[in-house]
Structure 1
């Protein structure tokens, strides 16, 4: 990347490291892993069938938000490798999908944290049906808020000429400032809530002297660490960018490299959630049970070769109903 920079009255050429290919490669890798992981998680949750459960409902919606965010990555990869070729309408729609996925993921993760805080620390949920209805309402609110918050970003962004190439961005400095402040608010406020809730959860969990305590602590720390490590540096840079303008080629290059690395790290969070939730003892147990029964069923089908398979499946269903 070559850029003109001024230092005082002297104008000179800045030669930056080109991250276009690196960004595109990482975006495609993240896309493949996230699509695979989140799709498998969705299939597993639907197959399990207990979608009224509050935790399962939150995880289901979080997987959907990660998928919405993920489907935009190949388009940004093409932009990095070539330039924007998906029209102004495509620019707006993909920008909206990007922010809907981002905002809903953060809101849902915060909701999961608050749910665990109420369950573990306060222990004040009146009943299971009340918790499930609250979970449905919170998930619906998360999507509504995300759509509403993404509208301004989608409206203000447009296909614009960048030299001889087209790009999908907003050229208005005031709009960029509003965007940075909005994104920062929708990160730092949830992060504060998450840190407070998980601190209280850890304090409560550590009071119990059993093996389950250590598994819970590790699970909590993994979720918090993944959220903070992935999105933290990116949002800190966005916030600092509203206050700091790098001067000189060295400062601009350092900022450019840091921004690209932090963005790749932030985007990778969408493929980590399935791994983190599969580490949960409950989900892991259901998955092993699911695979075990499928394996046993397959063996029994092979042993029943003289029978018609459809007849055998009917018999097995009747036995299970009894």
Structure 2
């Protein structure tokens, strides 16, 4: 996860730590808004809103791990072994739950648009969405705990701590890559199949009202694959290819650092992409207008109170002058 490799004068760990900090800030603000807006303006029983809420929660779980990684890349791991396992579990929990929830959302769109069987039973769709979200979290928690058990903190002679896998045996690596295959490649294949059928159906239909929703979901899935795809592909390459020589190791580390930052940036992508939805943009504008209205109302009341105080002071001053006038 770290290594402090240099390319010329560039320290990629330092750059990674510096970039992770703004990613954390943008992701925290965006996903909190994405959680709050459906609660304020929408019914949470809606299946689409349930998926949006769970995806935002998944991104928030991942987001909360970013400050720890920033400290690690800028300095070294100073939080101990237990917290490293906890942060690792949360990191993989955010990754696995995101891909499973995106797959469930895509399948939901596939059934709605292509098979056209949900509209007759909205309650059934909502119950299936709840079950899919619950299953996504259960599977993700189990897989992330399995990953967290396999890592530990190593302390070197200069008292610097590094995060390492407990074992590099072929059995451990085989289990890990099998898990990644089931929780990344299989969902990827399902998403590609479903969206191919969805796009074909939408392009052939005369009614294009659902077109914008499909575009939003398509962009969200593409963003996930673009951000996490190169990182996971590189992990597979590293399983079968061992770089020889300092130059090859440095190039591998540079690629790993770049793809890692690209993967980390995904947690702030979903809020931006969901703003393509007119409904969510309208809710956000309503929220901002309410805040502006409250601020103006507060300023108006403060101004009125100030005017009253000034008038009272002026009247009191005039009264004092009148009382001081000598009587004839």
Query: Is this a same-fold pair by TM over 0.5?
Result: yes
Q: Name the structure 1 match of 2:126.
A: 132
Which of the residues 132, 140, 147 maps onto 1:153? 147
Match of 2:135 among 121, 137, 141: 141
Residue of structure 1 in register with 2:29 after alignment: 36
**Counterpart for residue 244 of structure 1:** 241
Residue in 2 aligned with 1:318? none
1:176 is displaced (CA, Å) by 4.2
| CA-CA distance at 1:116 after TM superposition | 0.5
For 1:16 and 1:246, locate their aligned partners in 2 and report how far apart those are by CA, in whole Å.
22
CA distance in 2, matches of 1:294, 1:123: 41
Map 1:167-206 → 2, pairs under 5 A: 167-174=162-169, 175-206=172-203
CA apart distance, 1:15: 8.0
Partners of 1:176 and 1:244 in 2: CA distance: 13
| Structure with greater Cα Rg | 2
Match of 1:320 in 2: none
Cα distance in 1, alignment partners of residues 211 and 54 from structure 2: 27
1:114 matched to 2:114? The reply is: no
* Normalised TM-score (structure 2): 0.81
**C-alpha distance in 2, partners of 1:148/1:2?**
32
Question: What is the CA deviation profile of residues 166-223 of structure 1, one whole-angstrom value per residue up to 9, with x for unaligned ones?
Answer: 1222141123443243224311111111111111111111113466466356424422
Deviations 1:268-288 (A, max 9, x none): 111001111121233223434
2: distance between equivalents of 1:227 and 1:35?
18
In structure 2, relative to structure 1, the CA distance for the partners of 1:187 and 1:86 (3 Å cut) is: same
Deviation at 1:265, TM superposition (A): 0.4
Aligned counterpart, 2:77: 84
For structure 1, the 5+ residue unaligned runs are 4-13, 306-322
Q: TM-score, normalised by structure 1?
A: 0.83
Question: Is the 1:206–1:213 Cα contact (8 Å) retained in structure 2?
Answer: no
22-31 vs 292-301, which deviates more?
Answer: 292-301
Shift of 1:133: 0.7
Distance 2:22 2:294 in 1: 35
C-alpha spacing 1:157/1:216, structure 2 compared with 1 (3 Å):
same
Q: Are 2:257 and 1:260 equivalent residues in the alignment? A: yes
